Amino acid sequence: MNTRRCCQSARPAGRVRKVAGWLLPGTVLALMPKCPMCLAAYVALGTGFTMSYASAHILMRSLTVLCISALVLCAAKRLLKHFRQKSSLKLHPTHSNP
């Protein structure tokens, strides 16, 4: 008989999603070019589509906001989980009847 504790997950997919939630936006932010023309050149090299400076600038700012929002969401979930666990661990004194 295989008994599993409630805190052990059946599949490692949940852990992979958590790591990807942090890793993917951080990697995109770190590797994204800081110049709109460089971003337009990378898009042209990768897809064959050309972009104007204005659309590359909008895409760059949108990607930045999206990645930062994803990182803030991951951090908020982590903090919320931490505070929930902390509040559930508070021990209340029990009163014994003499």
Q: Is the pLDDT of residue 4 over 70?
A: no
Q: How far apart, in whole angstroms, are the C-alpha atoms of residue 24 and residue 12?
A: 18
Q: How far apart, in whole angstroms, are the C-alpha atoms of residue 73 and residue 78?
A: 9
pTM, full prediction? 0.67
Q: How far apart, in whole angstroms, are the C-alpha atoms of residue 34 and residue 60?
A: 8
Range ranked top by mean pLDDT from 4-13, 47-56, 84-93: 47-56
pLDDT tens per residue across span 15-67: 777 777 888 888 999 999 999 999 999 999 999 999 999 999 999 999 999 99
Contacts of 40 (CB under 8 A, 6+ apart): 50, 51, 52, 53, 55, 56
